[in-house]
Amino acid sequence: MQGVGVDQFIQMLFALLLIIILANFLLKRLDRMNQVRSKAIKIIERVPVSKSSSLCIVQVGAQYMLMSFSEHGNEVIKEFSQQEKEEIQIRLHQQAENTKSITDIKKISGDLKSKYKHLKKKYEDSFKGD
C-alpha cells in the first residue's frame, strides 16, 4: 500500500513538471505572437518601476530608445547610439540562446522520464531484497 503512494507521488511530480514546462513554452509562444503584430514598432524589453509605470527599450524602425511609460504619459528618455544598439542586440541574442538551451523540451522531458524510471526501478529493487 505504501509503494502505491510513493509511485503516485512521483507521477504527480512528473506531471507537475511537465505542466510547468508546457505552460512556459505556451507563454513564450503567445508572447512571440503578440510581438509579430507590429513590424515597425517593437518593445524590446520592459522593466516595471512601480505599479503604474515602467521603463522600456523600444525599437522604432532602426532606432532604439529608452522610454518611460506611466498613467500620466509617455516620454523618450534617451535615444541609443549605434554602438549601444549593437550591444543591446548582442545581449538579447545571448539571452535567447540561453533560454533556448535551458528550455529544450525534448531534452528535459527525456531526462525526467529516465530519472523517473531510474527512481521507480530503485524503489522496486529495494523491496526485492526483503
**Domain ranges for the chain:** 2-128
Round to whole Å and give the CA distance between 21 and 96: 17
DSSP state, residue 39: S
Strand partners, 115: none
Q: What is the pTM of this model?
A: 0.47
Write out the three cell numbers for 127: 523491496
Look at residues 83, 82, 74, 81 and name the one whose alpha carbon lies nearest to residue 43.
74
Around Cβ 64, how many Cβ atoms within 10 Å?
21
**Per-residue pLDDT, 102:** 62
Summarised one tens digit per residue, pLDDT across range 65-99 is: 999 999 989 999 999 999 998 898 898 888 877 76
Round to whole Å and give the CA distance between 38 and 130: 66
